[in-house]
Amino acid sequence: MKELINILNKASKAYYQEDREIMSNKEYDALYDELQELEKKTGIILSDSPTQKVGYTILSSLPKVKHSQRMLSLDKTKEIAQLKNFLGDQKGLLSWKLDGLTIVLTYRDGKLFQGVTRGNGEIGEDITNNAKTFKNIPLFIPFKGELILRGEAVIKYSDFKKINENLPPEEQYKNPRNLCSGSVRQLNNEITAKRNVYFFAFSLVEAQGKDFEDSKVKSLEWLKSLGFDIVEYKLVTKDNVEEVVYEFEKNISHNDFASDGLVLTYDSISYSLSLGSTAKFPRDSIAFKWKDEMKETKLLAIQWNTSRTGLINPVAVFESVELEGTTVNRASLHNLSILEDLKLGIGDTIKVYKANMIIPQVAENLTKSNNIEIPKECPVCKGKTEIIQVREGKALYCTNPNCEAQRIKTLTHFVSRDAMNIEGLSEATIEKFVKKGFIKDFIDIYNLYLYEEEIKNMDGFGEKSYKNLINSIEKSKQVELPNLIYALGLNHVGLSNAKLLCKYYNYDLEKIINCKMEELINIEGFGDIIANSIYTYFNKEENKERIYKLKDLLQIQVTKINEEQILKDKTFVITGKVEHFKNRKELKEKIESLGGKVTGTVTKNTDYLINNNIESNSSKNRKAKELGITIITEEEFLNMIK
């Protein structure tokens, strides 16, 4: 069934999203019928089956649910000898301790009834609507009694990387666990569905009327027979547990999911129940954490890497050391906050290790000379840098929209809906075209017809896709001036600011190109930062040349659109997680399109702070209350603009 689902979903994606066929309709229908027959025969229907259409819903909040059994944390050890002592004469199950979000699923009458997060162990949040969109859980099972099981929701490393690449820098997640937690607890389950969340069952709590002959292994295998993916495990005794621990250790680097150790639990259900629990831990299970192999070394340099999003990430380069069987000489510092907290300096003695035995990290700085200078220029394009606030702290950012490292992101922005609106040019497609040398700059998009045969023969393309793309490119040549200005990707210039700019210069592109700083500052709604960004961009000859080339190619419309600016003169600050918009950037653009302004700091000039958790004790909430600033939820904001 899983194999059929995979094949059918690939065929459906190719047909509906990529305008190509990888099988005939007859072949598809035959496989679909085979899957449907198997679903009837087994009574199992998996969440990603093409026979199911899960509806999307938006909630105002996640209801709180009290667990029927308290969920305790596990006691921990780093000593294999303690695992042997723990087992004694008992058999045990040794499995991965997955690093995600623990979920409790309840089934009634063969149907998924409820999904609840672990929460504080006593009370969790109801995420049933989101659980229905997980990639691999059964929505229907043949067992009709009440079934309660626990498992871990995880996002794979490969999916984590793809998702982060499509988020703006300030919204990116530090690790898969944080992303998974945010995805599972969304109020809009359409967002959860796009995040590719997987569920791995690790224990059975209750199966009404079922007998598993006093074996947890048999209960897990029974869950597997119902269509659940179960956590990988090995049956162990005190005689072989050490050997099996090393087997797991060898596989860490090959895993596509994060783990933070192993879990050892007794196989005997009756023996486990007889032990009870302490106030903090169950007595039938224990977590094993590998000892982090820590080495001292000398910091040689800080390398600054500009990503295609414009974030400039610091990387520690140090004298080579052996860690977990491999030679390591570099470790990402992720952002400026981490670099500053470590007080790093060239020549410092640092301690390094591998987080989860995979990712090199700097654990400690023993000498703390704190002599690293933050670059004022991007290492790739020599453009000016600025420090911005991101999800995980402070980060360095390249302000040059034409930076080589940002080219793909800039091109993706250029073709986006509110810009040139060129359908068929996704970021992935642009990346392929850039690699093949078809596109280097905006103007090259309009010359893609020169590579007709090469494009038609590319994977994912064909005659129909090529024609659709060329038609979309031709259609985009008729563009409103504000959309063109927005498409250029000037820093801090959203579509609403582009409209204000065009309005001020009476929709005269020549005047905009030759704008003066003193004029820009006088534009209502513009401050020094926006004015400087526009002036700097148009003051560069290569940018002027680019615009003149586009001007000759395009049919620029100068329709003076009178949109209702219902948020004019209103200043907003956004904080916390958003629920009705894809991310904070989308909410910011909505405010700007209606004439409002969005800033990053609450001041006396702020009119509204948007925060879905009004009772939060965050610094922005406290500041807003102190200044008497109105705090509103997204729901209240949406009502405001209706």
Residue 486: strand, helix, or coil: helix
467 given a catalytic annotation: no
Angstrom distance (rounded) from CA 636 to CA 618: 20
Give the closest residue to 500 by CA, choosing from 414, 567, 554. Answer: 567
Give the closest residue to 347 by CA, choosing from 322, 330, 366, 328. Answer: 366
Q: Which amino acid is at 185?
A: R
Angstrom distance (rounded) from CA 505 to CA 499: 10
Measured from the Cβ of residue 229, the count of other Cβ atoms closer than 10 Å reads 18
Alpha helix (H) residue ranges in 476-618: 481-487, 495-504, 509-513, 517-521, 528-538, 541-553, 584-593
Residue 633: strand, helix, or coil: coil
Sequence-ordered list of residues with C-beta below 8 angstroms from that of 411, at least 6 positions apart, any chain: 430, 434, 439, 442, 445
CB 380 within 8 A of CB 405: yes
CB 156 within 8 A of CB 219: no
Backbone phi and psi for residue 262, each to the nearest 5 degrees, phi listed first:
-130, 165
Whole-angstrom CA distances from 177 to 85, 214, 256, 260, 622 are: 32, 33, 13, 11, 28
Angstrom distance (rounded) from CA 246 to CA 371: 41
Alpha helix (H) residue ranges in 310-426: 336-342, 407-414
Place of tokens 């019928």: 33
The catalytic residue among 26, 97, 156, 161 is 97
CB 137 within 8 A of CB 112: yes
Place of tokens 């006396």: 604
Q: What is the dihedral of CA 197, 119, 291, 324, to 10 degrees?
A: 10
Angstrom distance (rounded) from CA 389 to CA 337: 10
Residue 28: strand, helix, or coil: helix
CB 127 within 8 A of CB 57: no
Residue 319: strand, helix, or coil: strand
Angstrom distance (rounded) from CA 192 to CA 355: 27
Place of tokens 């309660």: 148
Angstrom distance (rounded) from CA 437 to CA 454: 11
Q: Which amino acid is at 345?
A: G
Active site residues: 97
